[in-house]
Amino acid sequence: MAAYVPPCAEHDDLIAAALRVIEATHYQRPENPHADAEHEYANEQLALAARALTRAVDAKPADDRPIGWDTDATPTEAEATVARVRAFAEDMATWCSPHGVAADYAKRLLAVIDNTKEN
């Protein structure tokens, strides 16, 4: 598999649209009477540029797409197991138990699944 190279035109358009949103969000002059319209337009252009880049990447051969791009694949057995454990832990958090032990265990399980530290 070769290194991913984005479609140049669409990639550049997306970067330009993102910079326009940043400009409209953070650097707009307060006296500009059209600031709200510019911000809304910039957001719309960003969405359209993102869609164009997505379509351009989808049109590339599978070997030329970024790793993990094709997410419509069925989950692996491990991913399915983690999803079942997550659902169980989320349900377990609602159980009534002495001193809230079930909810505490559920919180700790979810922290392990999410790879975060919970006390």
The verdict on 96 and 58 lying in the same domain is no
For residue range 7-25, list pLDDT tens digits in order: 788 889 999 999 999 999 8
The answer to whether the CB of 69 falls within 8 A of the CB of 1 is no
Tens of pLDDT, residue by residue over 37-46, are 999 999 999 9
Q: How far apart are CA 78 and CA 71, in angstroms?
A: 16
Question: What pLDDT does 15 receive?
Answer: 93
Residues 56, 103, single domain; the answer is: no
Residues 85 and 56 in one domain: no
Total domains, the chain: 2
Are the C-beta atoms of residues 53 and 13 closer than 8 Å to each other? yes
Residue 81's domain comprises 77-114
The pLDDT score that the predictor gives to residue 30 is: 81
Does residue 15 sit in the same domain as residue 53?
yes
Domain boundary residue, one of 38, 64, 90: 64
94-113 pLDDT, tens digit per residue, is 998 898 899 998 998 888 88
Residue 71: inside a domain, yes or no? Answer: no
Residue 84 burial (10 A CB sphere; 0-12, 13-18, 19+): exposed
User: What pTM does this model have?
Assistant: 0.54
In a domain, 50, yes or no: yes
